Structure 1
Amino acid sequence: MPGPIYTAHESAGPPMLGKTLPQLLYEACEAYQNPRALNQPEGDGWAPMSLDDFRERAEYTALGLLDAGLNRGDKVAFLLHSDVNFCVSDMGCLIAGLIDVPVYLSTAPNQMQYVIDHAEASALVVADEEQLSVAEEILPQLPRIHTLVLCETDGEKPSPSLPDDVSFFTLEEIQEKGKTSTSDVEGAIDDLLDKVHPQDLATLIYTSGTTGKPKGVMLSHENISYNATTSISELSGFEAGPDGEVAISFLPLTHVFARALQYAYMYKGISVYFCHPDNLVDALPKVQPTAFASVPRVLEKVYAGIQKKIMEMEGLQKTIGTWALGVARQYRMGEHASLPFTLKRKLADALVFSKWRKALGGRVKYIVVGGAALQPDLANTLAAAGIETLQGYGLTETSPVIAFTRPERNKPGTVGDPLPGVEVRIADDGEILTRGPHVMQGYYKAAEKTEKVMSEGWFHTGDIGEFDGNFLKITDRKKDLFKLSTGKYVMPQPIENELGSQPLVDKAIVIGNGRKFCAALIFPTEDQVRAQARQLGIDDSQPFEELLKERAIVDVFQELVDDANEGMDHWSTVKRFALIPDELTVDSGLLTPTLKVKRPKIRDAYADEIDALYEESPSPERETKRKAVIVA
C-alpha cells in the first residue's frame, strides 16, 4: 500500500483555481500601471514595454493571426528566443484560442521538424533571420504549415525561399492586420476571451527526453495559471506592482519552469528584464534584481568563480577570503548559532560576503532553484552570505511545481512541502506520486503512454523520494537505478550530485549496471583544474588531457570521490573513476536541452573508458582513444 497523503503546510494559503492565462494579464492591467513591465535587451541596455502596451500588442497579434487564416484550436509552433517577442506571441495565441508549441532552439533541425509535425502545427513563428533560415530548411517537409511569422528583421523584410502555399508575414504586419481587421477591436477581443475556458488546452510542451522521441505534454490554462498564481502567492514578502520586485529572466521560456514564473511575474505586475545566460554576469549589477529563477549549475558556477578568485588572491586578501569561505561553510540554515559564530559571520559579511551579494546585483531576496537538486552545502554557504535559495520540484507534466521551500520553511536538502491543492504520496517502491489541478491532461496522441504514468488520478513522476516531516526529499530517478552483478541496487544521483557540486567537476556519471562495483566518469571543469594546477605548482599551460594525468591532480579528484563516498552504502561507493577531458553539451547529443544526461548515449560514447575501468588490473594511467585517466 502507498504511504500517507501529504498536502501543503497548515499555514499555506488557498489554491487559486478557475483562471485562464489571459485573465492573469487583464487582472494585472486593472491592478497595476507598470511602464517597465517587460524589458527587451537592446545594445547595452533594455527597451521597456508597459503592461498596457504588452496587452495591446498581444490583442493585435491574436486578431492578426486569426485574420491570416488560423482558427481556434490550431497549433502554432515557436522558434523563439526567451524574450518579449515570445511573451507577445504566446499571449496572442492564448487570447485567440490557439495552442502554442514552443520548440527548443538548441535541437537539431530534424528534431524540430519532428515536434512541429507531430503537433500538427498550422503556423510557425520564428525569432529572427537565423531561425528563418532554419524554417526554410524544414518547411518543405511540413505541409500543414500555411503561415510563417518573423518577429525581428535586420532591416527590410527578407524574401525567403518558401513553399508556394506558405504566407509570410512579419510580426508587425500581423499586428497591423489585427488592428485593422475590425472596427471594434475591444468587442472582438471580448468575444475571443469569452470563448477561452480554464480547462482548454493552452500549450503543448515537448519533453526533451533522455531516451526515445519527445512526448507532447498537454497543459490547460488552469494547469499553468493555478500553478503560477498559487506558487507566487506562497512567497511571503513578495512585493507586487511597478515599485515591487524586479526580476531578471535568463532561463528558456520553452521550458515550463521559466514560462510559468513569467506568468506569475505578469500577474503581480512587476518589472522583468530578459537576458541571455551568456550575458548574465554583466546584466546582474545593471538590473539589480530582487528575484530570479535559476538552475543549480548556474549557482555552482557562481560558487566556483568565488573559489577560483580566492585561489588566485595573494597575501592578506587570500587569508581573509579563505577564512570567510570557511565561516560560510560552517553555517547551517535554521540552526541556532552561537554568539562567537554570529560575530564571525558579521565580520565575514562586512569584509567578503557583501561583495558576493554585490556580484548578484546587491538586492536579491529570492533565488528560486529548479530543474535539478541543489546541494545542501551550497544552499547553506550562500545563505550564510545572505543569499537565500528556495528549492522547487516538479516536471513538465505537473505544470511544473509540486513542492518548494518557502522563505519561512527552508530546509536544505529538501524541496519543501507541497503547493496548496497538491497531494503527494510515496508508492511502495519509493516512487513519488502526485494528484491535483497541476497534473497534465495527458500526452498528445499517446494514450498508451499517458495510461502508463496515470493511475486513479495519480501521476507517477518517475522520481524516488521520501518525506522528512512534511518536507519532500528527492533521492533518485527511478529509471536511473541500476543493479550490480552482486544483486545490489544502486542510486547514482547522491554521489553524482555531490561530485557535480564541486567546482572542479562539470559532470559526474556513476556507472555499474551488471558490473561488480560502481565506477564514475568524471568530466572536469578545465579552467578550475588549471587554477588548481597553478596552486600546486604544476605547469597549467600543458594540454588538458596531459594535465589530468598529473599525479597531484589525480589525487585531488581522489579526495573528492572519497568525500562523496562518505556515508554511502559500501556497494554504492565509487571504487574507480576516469577523468575525461571532454565537455558534455547539447550539441554533442549527450545532454538534453534541459541539460539532463542521456545515459545510454554516454555509455555508448565512452564504452572504451568504461571497459578500462573494469579491467582486472588496470594501470593507474591507461590511455584510451580519448586519453582518459583511469584510477584504481
Structure 2
Amino acid sequence: MREYSVPPLVETPRTGGLADSVFLVAEEDPDLVQLMRRDPSAGEEWSEVSATAFRDEVLALAKGLLANGIRLGDRVALMARTRYEWTLFDYALWSIGAVPVPIYSTSSSDQVRWILADTRAVACVVEHEDHAMTVGAVCDSVPSLRSIWQLDSGCVRELMADGAAVSDELVHRHRAAVAPGTAATVIYTSGTTGRPKGCVITHANFAAECDNLLTGWREVFARRAGEQPATLLFLPLAHVYARMVQVAALRGGVTLGHQSETSADVLLPALASFRPTFLLAVPYIFERIFHKARRAAEEHGRAELFDKAADVAVRYAEAAERKMLDEGSGPGAGLRLQHQFYDRTVYTRVRAVLGGRMRNAMCGGSPLSREIGLFFAGAGVTVIEGYGLTETTAAVTVNPPGRIKYGTVGRPVPGTTVGIAEDGEVWIRGGTVFAGYLNAPDATDQVLRRGWLATGDLGSLDDEGYLTITGRKKEIIVTSGGKSIAPAVLEERVRAHPLVSQCLVVGDNRPFVGALITLDPEALDHWHRIHRKPPAEPHQALSDSDLHDEIQRVVVTANTVVSRAESIRAFRIIPEQFTEERGLVTPSLKLRRRAIAKAYAGDIEELYTPS
C-alpha cells in the first residue's frame, strides 16, 4: 500500500470532553465575543454573545435537562435547521455527558422513525410544529422516547426554568465523568447506497480534528491585529462538516454565527451583514456566486469585461501557484498590472458579496473545479479544498496554507495517514477515525480493518502526499464492452457550465456512456433573456434546438478530458430537478444514483433506443 503520514501538531486530551472548552474560555477570556445571534426584535440585527453569557446559558439549559431526567449516556435527537439553539443544546448535552443525535430538518417520517428507534432516543428537540407532528406520528414505534421539546414554542426558556433549583455542582459532576473516548454524537450517513448507518464519533475524535486544524491552519482561523476572526455557519448542523466547524470555532476563539436559509437571496445579504473573516462551505456555494456574478455582468453589458477579469484571475493564481510550489517566478509585470486594474473594477465586488473581510475559505463535500478555485484565489479569496467523511469526523486531507495545489484535496491533516490500496481505494488511519457504526458490528468490520478505515473512495497520492479523488468504488460504471468508468470527472465537467444544475452519468452494462442533465432555472431564465427568447419553463425549453445545441457543446467540451470509450455519446435533458424531497439527492446534495436510475428508467432506456 502506498502511504503518506503527517505527525500530529497537538496531543489529544487525556481527560475531559468538548463542553470543557466553554467553561475554560469563559474563565480565561470572559468578554470574548463567542457567538453572534439574530435578534428578531431588533430588525434581525446581529447581537453579541460573550463567552460568559454563553457559558451561563449552557449551564442553565444543562440543569433543565437534568431536571427533566436526561442523564449520562442518554441520546437526545435534534431536528432543526442551523440556528443558535442547536449549538446551545449540543454543549448543554455534552455538559452532562448526554449524546446529541442530529436529524436533518427535511427528513421523512420513516427516516425519523429509524434514527429514533436505532439510537433509543429518550427525547427529541424539534424546530417547529411540522417537525413535532413528524416525530409525534412515529412515537408509538419508539417506546424509549419520553419528551418532545419545540424551539419555536419557547422550550429553551421552559427547560431553564425547570432547572432553576438544580445545583451547578450536579452539572459539573456529570461533566467530570465525560472522557475523551466517550461518544459525543451519533451522525447518520446519507444513505446513498442503503439504509443510513449511525456513526459513533467521540469527544477525542472532534478534539483531534479541530485542534490540529486550528494549529496547522492558524493563518485561516487566528486573530489578526484589531480583528476578531468570525465565520457564518449555514451548512446543516446535522452534517459532520458543520458540527466540526462549530466545535473548532468554540475551541479556537472564533466568533460563530448561524444562518438557517441558504438560498442566494437570503444567504448573500447575511454574509454582507455578518462579514465573516473566513468561511467553510461546499463547492455549490462558490459555483453559484461565480455564475451569479457572470450573469449580472452579462445583463449590464459587461460580460466581456468579466470574462477578461476571470481569465486574468485564473492566470494570476496559476502563476502564484507555480511560485508556491517552487516551479516558477510568479506573475509577471504585465499580468500584475492587469490584475491590479481588475481588482479595482471586478474582484472587489466579488469580495463585497462575501462581506468584504474574507480572505480564506475552506471547501469540501464534493470536488471543486480547479478553474473556480483559481478564479477566487485570483480575486483575493483563497479557497482551501479538503476531503473527509462522516466516519473521519470531517476533514482528513486539506491543502496546506501557502502551498495549495488546486485540483487536489490536499495533504493529510496532522495526525493522519492516508493510504492507497492495490485497487486504488483510499484508506485512512488516525485519531479522527470514528468508533464504529451503532448497532452494526458487521458493517463496522467491513470498513475498519487492522486500524485502517476503508473509505470506499478511489484516489491517488503524489510524491508530496497530495490526494486526488477520482471517484467512488460503488459508482464505477462497467459498460457492456468491459470498460470501467469513474463518472465523477465527467459529471463535474458538465456541471461546471452555468446552465447545468445536475448531471448523472449512466452506462452500466450498456454499449456506451450516457447522461441525464438538469438545468438551473435561474440560469435558464437568464439564457432566454440574453438570447431574446420568450421566458419558458424547463419542460417547455426542451424543444428549443438552440438550447439543445448549447448543452451539446457542454458535453463535447467535457468529453475532451476522457478517452473516446469513456465519453458521453448521448444525453437527455430532464425538465425537473433531482431533489431531496423526491428522495433523489441526500441532504448534502449528493446524487442518489439508484433512486434516480429507477425514477428515470424510461429516459435512460430511450438513450439506448435507436432513433
TM-score range (shorter-chain normalised) is over 0.9
Q: Which residue of 1 aligns with 2:327?
A: none
Give the deviation of 1:35 after TM superposition: 5.4
Out of 46-55 and 248-257, give the one that drifted further: 46-55
Q: Which residue of 2 aligns with 1:311?
A: 298
Q: Which residue of 2 aligns with 1:235?
A: 217
Give the deviation of 1:17 after TM superposition: 4.1
Give the deviation of 1:600 after TM superposition: 0.6
CA distance in 2, matches of 1:35, 1:140: 45
CA distance in 2, matches of 1:191, 1:47: 32
Task: Determine if contact 1:34/1:269 at 8 Å carries over to the other structure.
Answer: no
Q: Which residue of 1 aligns with 2:5?
A: 7
1:456 aligns with 2:450: yes
Q: Which residue of 1 aligns with 2:326?
A: none
Task: Determine if contact 2:84/2:258 at 8 Å carries over to the other structure.
Answer: yes
Q: Which residue of 2 aligns with 1:180?
A: 165
Percent pairwise identity: 29
Task: Determine if contact 2:95/2:172 at 8 Å carries over to the other structure.
Answer: no
Match among 223, 229, 235 for residue 245 of structure 1: 229
Q: Which residue of 1 aligns with 2:488?
A: 493
Return the letter of the residue paired with 1:36: V
CA distance in 1, matches of 2:287, 2:103: 27
Out of 528-537 and 472-481, give the one that drifted further: 528-537
Return the letter of the residue paired with 1:594: S
Return the letter of the residue paired with 2:235: L
Give the deviation of 1:522 after TM superposition: 0.7
Give runs of aligned pairs for residues 80-479 of structure 1, distance below 5 A: 80-153=80-153, 170-182=155-167, 185=168, 187-237=169-219, 238-240=221-223, 243-276=227-260, 277-278=262-263, 279-314=266-301, 317-331=302-316, 332=318, 333-335=320-322, 336-469=330-463, 470-479=465-474
Query: Secondary structure of the residue that 2:25 maps to in structure 1?
Result: helix
CA distance in 1, matches of 2:542, 2:298: 19
Give the deviation of 1:68 after TM superposition: 1.4
Give the deviation of 1:34 after TM superposition: 4.0
CA distance in 1, matches of 2:205, 2:419: 20
Return the letter of the residue paired with 1:122: V
Task: Determine if contact 2:76/2:121 at 8 Å carries over to the other structure.
Answer: yes
Task: Determine if contact 2:17/2:175 at 8 Å carries over to the other structure.
Answer: no
Give the deviation of 1:517 after TM superposition: 0.7
CA distance in 2, matches of 1:593, 1:219: 20
Q: Which residue of 2 aligns with 1:23?
A: 20
Task: Determine if contact 2:82/2:234 at 8 Å carries over to the other structure.
Answer: yes
Return the letter of the residue paired with 2:52: D
Query: Secondary structure of the residue that 1:179 maps to in structure 2?
Result: coil
Unaligned stretches of 5+ residues in structure 1: 158-169, 619-632
Give runs of aligned pairs for residues 525-536 of structure 1, distance below 5 A: 525-536=520-531
CA distance in 2, matches of 1:466, 1:227: 22
Give the deviation of 1:172 after TM superposition: 1.8
Query: Secondary structure of the residue that 2:200 maps to in structure 1?
Result: strand
Deviation sequence 1:62-106 (CA, Å, 0-9, x none): 222222122211111111231111111111111111111111111
Q: Which residue of 2 aligns with 1:624?
A: none
TM-score by length of 1: 0.90
Match among 29, 35, 38 for residue 38 of structure 1: 35
Q: Which residue of 1 aligns with 2:325?
A: none
Deviation sequence 1:229-266 (CA, Å, 0-9, x none): 21122213232499421111111111111111111111
CA distance in 1, matches of 2:249, 2:242: 10
Return the letter of the residue paired with 2:569: K
TM-score by length of 2: 0.93
CA distance in 2, matches of 1:464, 1:30: 46
Out of 524-533 and 383-392, give the one that drifted further: 524-533
CA distance in 2, matches of 1:496, 1:534: 27
Give the deviation of 1:528 after TM superposition: 1.2
Task: Determine if contact 1:151/1:172 at 8 Å carries over to the other structure.
Answer: no
Return the letter of the residue paired with 1:31: E
Match among 583, 589, 601 for residue 589 of structure 1: 583
Deviation sequence 1:184-241 (CA, Å, 0-9, x none): x1x3233222211000111111112112211000011101121112112221323249
CA distance in 1, matches of 2:36, 2:228: 15
Give the deviation of 1:318 after TM superposition: 4.1
